[in-house]
A and B are shown apart, each in its own frame.
Chain A
Amino acid sequence: MKLLEYQAKEVLASFGIAIPPGKVARTPEEAAQACREIGPVAVKAQVPVGGRGKAGGIKLAKTPEEAAAAAGQIIGMDIKGFKVPLVYCEGALDIAQEIYLGFTVDRDNRANILMLSSRGGMDIEAVAEEAPESIARLYPDPWMGPLDFELRRLVFEAGLGAHAAALTKVIKQLYRAIPEQDAITAEINPLVVTGDGRIVAGDAKLETDENAAFRHKDLEQRYAEVLEGDPYEVEAKKRGLTYVALDGEIGVIANGAGLSMGTLDLVQRAGGRAANFCDIGGGAKAEVVQNALEVILMNPGVKGVLINVFGGITRADEVARGVVEARRNLNMKLPLVVRLSGTNETEGKQILRDNDIEPGDNGWEAAQKIVGMTR
């Protein structure tokens, strides 16, 4: 789960990391009130994607009136597919220096990596390209966590020795997000050194591992409902489906993540565009197929559906019967092409034909058929 900035800051503050004064506002009036309490504020859109500043999602406000106006403009705005549900009004910082501090998972090394750089405020990937020597790196032992001497070495390597004691403390506090919240990314950029020498989190990014959600119910309960992403993704999640919204016109259902992705590629190769990724997993049970079809058909942009199931030990005739039944129950009129393979493949195809559903011999042929039928 990608936390919003204010949520990430709440978590960091619970670890003892200093954050600027701030308040969440869901209405212009609440934003004005926040400004009355805090003074001049930055009114910031809360969305789980980067680039909100460029999209007009951050505005400075000196007075409560300005804060209300800014909130009025930002709340409800669409930033990269996310409707802004609320803003965070945050007091300005007296910035002397900006530092980058972040943990993430380094896949190639199958380990957590800690990065620290004196070049804060910039995208770390840009820093890595421009001045790779300015980033100090550490792979902490995942059982022990980072050790004091390792952190001291890191801080001096990054040229930040002047703040060694304070930084070592903040890094250890931030590291808590890994064992305690199953964070896969925990980043403070910029980590601000203020004019009076304090260290404060200017921004915060926290992403937790969805596979570990079973042991962090608290976080989900507290924060999950705030997000308003793609409505079909939300609906699919409620039904326990693995679904990703895309912007094409052909609904796609397949079993297995690799085959599902491969099917999207085939649709594009055939000249069409997929409306979604949807993996129904191993067994391809009738009710799961129906569930997936139902969500896909909610999207009025969908002009046809392609189902690509590789059976293996699954019986193709059972899958075919399930598809026929789902189509009938949903009163589906759109073109439908189904590619089935597995045990009893021939019977499966016959069942489809008997019910006016076009069977495909393989994924590529099926993709060409559905693209042809939706033109």
Chain B
Amino acid sequence: MILLDRDSKVIVQGITGREGGFHAERMKEMGTALVGGVSPGKGGGEAVGVPLFNTVAEAVIATGANATGIFVPPPFAADAIMEAADAGIELIVCITEGIPIQDMIRVKAYLKSFPKARLLGPNCPGLITPGVGKIGIIPAQISSAGQVGLVSRSGTLTYEAMSALTRAGKGQSSVVGIGGDPVLGLSFSDVVALFEADPDTSHLVLIGEIGGSDEEHAAEMLKDTRLKVVAFISGRTAPEGKRMGHAGAIVSGNRGTAKSKVEAFEAVGIPVAETTDQLVDLLG
């Protein structure tokens, strides 16, 4: 398992919102060590059966939290990420979709002063370590514990692949959605390196999409991997210059094409599936 393990103590920023509350409940249900929530002005109260705090710093002092899930609206999300880093949180998972790109560029620069803080997202489904817990919105009932690592840029495709794996009896060590925005926290390569170093992971599924060159970098890293790896790329038929839903999913010129990503994987001997069901077959 990576990132979220048995030592993780989790808070939710925006726990009194509709989404935050709903998903905090689901997180708790599957056994995540949820220790508190943050909602400015509501400190001292309680939500989802855990204490509320006005600031992340207060929550960290009172509960020893080291991980957070952020569900606050886009105009305030960048600030929430920086608040978490400043309070010493080491795993920051930002689910919020629609954060301005320039806000995220400033956040990335700010985070350089906090080398221990790892940001996952934004605009991501979060992560799940079956049997241990989850931060975010990945449905726990389609997961099962095992040795397959999964890293993905898309939410629903992650679920497709997870449920196909679970149906085929292939459990997961951790499932990580890095998000669909152009400016992200952890990249494919970062997460691949974590799985590579994880003794509980023997197989790896990568789900990429058009745009950027994170997939190409990850492929390069996996040249001499000990893991059995398969990949999938969505957006093979997307036309140039059109943003396909995700702000990051856009082909411009020769950059970010599905072809270049498929070729990068194949060049290092990683088979690329054409459907999510095929992923499971290729995994062997």
Is the interface on chain B under 10, 10 to 19, 20 to 34, or 35 or more residues? Answer: 35 or more
CB–CB A257/B244 < 8 A: yes
CB–CB A141/B109 < 8 A: yes
Taking each of A214, A257, A262, which has the highest tally of chain B beta carbons within 10 Å of its own beta carbon?
A257
A246 within 8 Å of B (CB atoms): yes
CB–CB A259/B154 < 8 A: yes
Taking each of B156, B234, B244, B253, which has the highest tally of chain A beta carbons within 10 Å of its own beta carbon?
B156
A258 within 8 Å of B (CB atoms): yes
Q: 8 Å CB contacts to B: which residues of A196-254?
A: 209-212, 214-215, 242, 244, 246, 254
Contact partner, B156, options A110, A178, A244, A254, Cβ 8 Å? A254
CB–CB B245/A260 < 8 A: yes
B259 within 8 Å of A (CB atoms): no
Digitize A164-185: 1 where CB-to-B-CB distance is under 8 Å, 0 elsewhere. 0000000000000011001010
CB–CB A259/B157 < 8 A: yes
CB distance from A284 to the nearest CB of B (A): 10
CB distance from A56 to the nearest CB of B (A): 20
Please indicate the chain B residues that have their CB under 8 angstroms from the CB of A214 in the complex: 74-75
CB–CB B182/A105 < 8 A: yes
A100 within 8 Å of B (CB atoms): no
Contact partner, B276, options A210, A211, A268, A363, Cβ 8 Å? A363
CB–CB B106/A142 < 8 A: yes
Is the interface on chain A under 10, 10 to 19, 20 to 34, or 35 or more residues? Answer: 35 or more
Instruction: Pick the interface stretch among B8-16, B42-50, B209-217.
Output: B209-217
Please indicate the chain A residues that have their CB under 8 angstroms from the CB of B110 in the complex: 143
Contact partner, B243, options A244, A310, A312, Cβ 8 Å? A244
A188 within 8 Å of B (CB atoms): no
CB–CB A261/B244 < 8 A: yes
The A interface, classified by DSSP as helix, strand, loop or mixed, is: mixed
A246, B238: Cα distance in complex, Å? 9
A290 within 8 Å of B (CB atoms): no
A179, B101: Cα distance in complex, Å? 11
B246 within 8 Å of A (CB atoms): yes
B131 within 8 Å of A (CB atoms): no
A211, B108: Cα distance in complex, Å? 17
CB–CB A363/B275 < 8 A: yes
A137, B154: Cα distance in complex, Å? 32
A210, B80: Cα distance in complex, Å? 21
Closest to B256 in A: A107
Closest to A274 in B: B237
CB–CB B109/A111 < 8 A: yes
CB–CB A209/B100 < 8 A: yes
CB distance from A346 to the nearest CB of B (A): 15
B171 within 8 Å of A (CB atoms): no
A142, B276: Cα distance in complex, Å? 39
Interface set of B (CB-CB < 8 Å, partner A): 26, 74-75, 98-106, 108-110, 137, 139, 141-142, 152-160, 163, 180, 182-184, 207, 209-214, 217, 234-239, 241-249, 253, 274-277
Interface set of A (CB-CB < 8 Å, partner B): 49, 105, 107-108, 110-112, 125, 141-143, 178-179, 182, 184, 209-212, 214-215, 242, 244, 246, 254-262, 264-269, 274, 277, 279, 282, 310, 312-313, 341, 362-364
